[in-house]
């Protein structure tokens, strides 16, 4: 029943930016403390390390630093809390987590095997994009 307790709190109603900031840090700490559980549930030990997940969470939070309205921050926190609950109560699956939080700019993992070894740099760049 521990997973339902997270969402039962009173929805945050921050009066000022400072209070909203404090709530953001609380949310971040709560997410970081759930990282060991998440890695255990989804067997992420050989895919990613805890510090990489922490950095990913921090960069997700950082995407919204430009927001100044405390109510908007509350709404974003509510959505973040919902996402964290979904992940911790195993409502998502491993490929969701890997696709959304582990893989970076290069997207899905490239499978480079022996057929690609002799390929020239020109072809490799060509496969990636039109302009190089």
Partner 1 sequence: MALRAAVLRHIRLPVQTLTAAGSRPQPQWSFLRLFSSHDDHLTKEEVIDRVLDVVKSFPKVDPSKVTADVHFQKDLGLDSLDTVEIVMALEEEFKLEIPDKEADKIDSCNLAIEYIYNHPMAG
Single out the residue of 17, 18, 62, 124 in contact with partner 1 (rule: CB under 8 A): 62
Question: Does the footprint of partner 1 cover residue 54 (CB under 8 A)?
Answer: yes
Q: Closest distance between partner 1 and the C-beta of residue 32, in Å?
A: 4
Name the minimum Å distance from CB 44 to partner 1.
15
Nearer to partner 1, 22 or 124 (CB): 22
Measured over the CA atoms of residue 118, residue 124, residue 127 and residue 128, the dihedral's sign is positive
Number of H helices, E strands in the chain: 7, 0
Angle at 11 between CA 81 and CA 15, to 5 degrees: 110
Neighbours of 30 (CB within 10 A): 14
CB of 25 to partner 1, least distance (A): 5
Q: Where are the alpha helices (DSSP H) in 43-69?
A: 50-62
Q: How far apart are CA 106 and CA 32, in angstroms?
A: 25
Calpha distance 52→102 (Å, rounded): 8
- Can you tell me which of 11, 13, 17, 29 binds partner 1, judged by CB under 8 A? 29
Does residue number 25 form part of the binding site for partner 1 (CB under 8 A)?
yes
Contact between 92 and partner 1 by CB under 8 A: the answer reads no
The region of 53-61, 72-80, 81-89, 101-109 touching partner 1 under the rule CB under 8 A is 53-61
Residues that bind partner 1 in the complex, under the rule CB under 8 A: 21, 24-26, 28-29, 32-33, 50-51, 54-55, 58, 61-62
């Amino acid at each position: 029943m521990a997973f339902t307790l997270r969402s039962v709190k009173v929805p945050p109603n921050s009066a000022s930016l400072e209070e909203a900031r404090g709530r953001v840090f609380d949310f971040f700490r709560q997410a970081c403390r759930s990282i060991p559980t998440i890695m255990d549930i989804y067997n992420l030990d050989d895919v990613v390390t805890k510090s990489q997940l922490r950095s990913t969470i921090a960069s997700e939070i950082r995407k919204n630093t430009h927001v100044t309205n405390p109510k908007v921050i509350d709404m974003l926190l509510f959505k973040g809390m919902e996402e964290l609950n979904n992940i911790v109560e195993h409502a998502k699956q491993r490929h969701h987590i890997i696709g959304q939080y582990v893989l970076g700019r290069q997207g899905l993992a490239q499978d480079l095997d022996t057929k690609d070894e002799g390929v020239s740099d020109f072809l490799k760049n060509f496969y990636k994009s039109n302009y190089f």
